Amino acid sequence: MNNTFSIKRFKLLFRKTIAERPVQTIGVMALLLVLSLILYVAAKELAGFNAAQNLSFIWGLAGGGFFMASFVFGYFGTNASGSSYLTLPASYLEKWLCGILIAGVLYLIIFLLFYHLMDIAFVEAYHHSLDPSSLSYKQQYDSVYPFDLTGRIAGKVYAMFLMLAGAMFTGALYFNKSAFIKTAIFCCSIFLVLFGLNWLTATMLFGHINDAGLYNHVTLPLGKEEATLLMPASTESLFLTTTLYIIPAVLWLLPLIRLREKEF
């Protein structure tokens, strides 16, 4: 018997994970998609297309990923379910891969497909609602276009998704009870500490400042004007590499080690 990975066992585990808690997996996934739709519609009415696209993409992907990730390893709320999960005859690699596949890959693909179709449908409907004989037709038409899933904003949201989902995968295996809330608090605390330290450092260096973007820029007042100091390219690149690749990689791989080392 292969104790590291068996495709047959993995299929069984995958089927079991989905079917054992359909409400948490399929149900929550469907709910997150519906919420993204509602958010899109509401934001479109209140703040326009651009805000609707950005807001629903951020909350749907990064927020939804965080939420989905809390379920796949969320067996440790009770002694009984935790024991049952850890003693199920499957390797920790299979258990890790199964969780990652559901919340990290499957949800990402389903959300992107849903979001893209929804976005195209709304944009098409808008374009069709315009009067081609109107003088501002071209301007109105060009003001709304489908959200670019390979663009700069999307890239930042993917990074957020990787970071938040990874944090939740790890949190679910470190905090046994109320892992979702504890991880959310932990993430917020880390962000606030980093933001605070960044602001403090900038204030110590430059005195009065208008803004300090986290390891990105500092905005200083210059009379009635303001000037922005960007971080040196090499330092910024180091920061980006860390946040885009190193931290997410650590957060996604840590659960694999944790599953092997976890005592319950």
Stretch that binds other proteins, among 4-12, 50-58, 62-70, 145-153 (CB under 8 A): 4-12
From the CB of 21, what's the least distance to other proteins, in Å?
A: 6
Nearer to other proteins, 65 or 74 (CB): 74
Nearer to other proteins, 84 or 241 (CB): 84
Calculate Rg over the CA atoms of the chain.
Answer: 22
Taking residues 69 to 98 in sequence order and writing x for each that binds other proteins by CB under 8 A, - otherwise, the string is: ---------xxxx-xx-xxxxxxx------
For residues 68 and 52, is the Cβ–Cβ distance under 8 A?
A: no
Query: What are the phi and psi torsion angles at 87 (to 5°)?
Result: -95, 5
For residue 28, state whether it binds other proteins (rule: CB under 8 A): no
In what helix (H) or strand (E) does residue 181 lie, and over which residues does it extend?
helix 179-206
CA distance 122 to 105: 26
From the CB of 8, what's the least distance to other proteins, in Å?
A: 9
Distance of CA 173 to CAs 10, 17, 65, 137, 191, Å? Answer: 20, 16, 16, 54, 21
For residue 176, state whether it binds other proteins (rule: CB under 8 A): no
Nearer to other proteins, 79 or 189 (CB): 79
Output 124-128 pairs: Cβ under 8 A, ≥24 positions apart.
126/49
Q: Which residues bind other proteins (CB under 8 A)?
A: 1, 3, 6, 9, 12, 15-16, 19-21, 23, 78-81, 83-84, 86-92, 260, 263-264
